[in-house]
Amino acid sequence: MEENAILIKKLKIEQLDSVVSLLKSFNLVYEDIKAHFVNFSVALDNNKIIGCAGFEKHDEIGLLRSVAVSLEFQGKGVGHMLIKSILKNAEQEGIKVFYLLTDTASSFFSKFGFKIVSRTEVDERIKTTYEYSEACSEKAIVMIKHL
């Protein structure tokens, strides 16, 4: 695989089912993705979706979510490409502070400047999201990044 063969594009509504399938395969939150799909990107290899990432916008606060890369493409820079794209998009949308929840990938996200934060320090707008309030366990690590 050549790195330049991978394209990062905005998610199109007709790609939603493929992204949901990818998220389900990793037991990630997918139930409310349609409400936020305008802030999602996909990684494409020969027009096949191999990764996704997105964010929810709550005024100037963002929630990074649904980051997944097909197993065969993990460790090849696809996740980095997706995160860089999402951070750029979020900044353009006026996001000043980004949160995320993760069970297993805190070391990955720390490479992008995310820091672990206590749940008591989380903005109320994030606490009301489906992902925070219902979908993720209370054991999930919360991380923050100021853009």
Kindly report, residue by residue over 88-125, the tens digit of the pLDDT: 999 999 999 999 999 888 999 999 999 999 989 999 99
In sequence order, the 6+-apart residues with CB closer than 8 A to the CB of 143 are 99, 100, 101, 102, 106, 109, 110, 114, 115, 116, 117
Burial of 18 (0-12, 13-18, 19+ CB in 10 A): middle
CATH of 3-146, one of 3.40.50.720, 3.40.50.10490, 3.40.630.30, 3.30.70.260: 3.40.630.30
Amino acid 64 reads L
The residue ranges of every structural domain in the chain are 3-146
Amino acid 142 reads V
Q: Give the percent of the chain with pLDDT over 70.
A: 97
Express each pLDDT in 57-86 by its tens digit: 999 999 999 999 999 999 999 999 999 999
Give yes or no for residue 3 having a pLDDT over 70.
no
pTM of the model: 0.89
What pLDDT sits at residue 1? Answer: 43
pLDDT band at 4 (very low <50, low <70, confident <90, very high): low
